[in-house]
Amino acid sequence: MTLKANLENTTIQYFDSPRIESYTQLIEALDYVPQKSQRELLYCKSCWQAIATEKDIIQVNNSHDHNVCNPDGLWFHIGCFRLALGCHLVGKPSQHHTWFPSFNWQHSLCSYCHNHLGWYFEAPNQDHFFALILDKISEDDD
Ligand SMILES: [Zn+2]
């Protein structure tokens, strides 16, 4: 789905799933969840830090993934996540060329290797989500 024709309203569909509330919990989950559940984690492809869980996957404007284009003409295939606890944010929130009207964005980097993984979007009403570049994260498909 392309957001070229910027939609007037951004709607976020949250799925009813348990949330990991802190990065510490994510690390604990990494250490203690059974092997099967570990496969539900999504990793930074550069350093294999856990970034999010499959339970964090959400839909924004009726789709989890979107193809978006930045002002430099670069295309990204992004996926939307409620949380991405393995990321940290850099930069001040900006509306500049935002892909989701009324949402400000910040860069979202892997908190371990600092690779750019995507963006964090937050609206004045405090709706928020991560949009991560799907090529840069991976399931643990051993
Ligand atoms: Zn990383």
Expressed in angstroms and rounded, the spacing between residue 50 Cα and the centre of ligand 1 is 8
Expressed in angstroms and rounded, the spacing between residue 99 Cα and the centre of ligand 1 is 24
For 43-90, give the DSSP string.
EETTT--EEEEGGGB-EETTBSEEEEE-TTS-EEEEEEES--TTEEEE
The pLDDT of residue 80 is above 80:
yes
pLDDT digits (tens, 9 = 90+) for 17-73: 444 455 566 656 555 444 445 557 898 999 888 899 888 899 999 999 999 999 999
Q: Which residue has the higher pLDDT, 84 or 23?
A: 84
- For the chain, percent of residues with pLDDT exceeding 70: 70
- pLDDT, residue 25, reads 62
Expressed in angstroms and rounded, the spacing between residue 79 Cα and the centre of ligand 1 is 17
- pLDDT, residue 34, reads 46
CATH class given for the domain over 41-138: mainly beta
The pLDDT of residue 77 is above 60:
yes
Expressed in angstroms and rounded, the spacing between residue 43 Cα and the centre of ligand 1 is 8
Tell me how far apart the alpha carbons of residues 128 and 124 are, in angstroms, rounded to a whole number.
9
Expressed in angstroms and rounded, the spacing between residue 51 Cα and the centre of ligand 1 is 8
- pLDDT, residue 21, reads 52
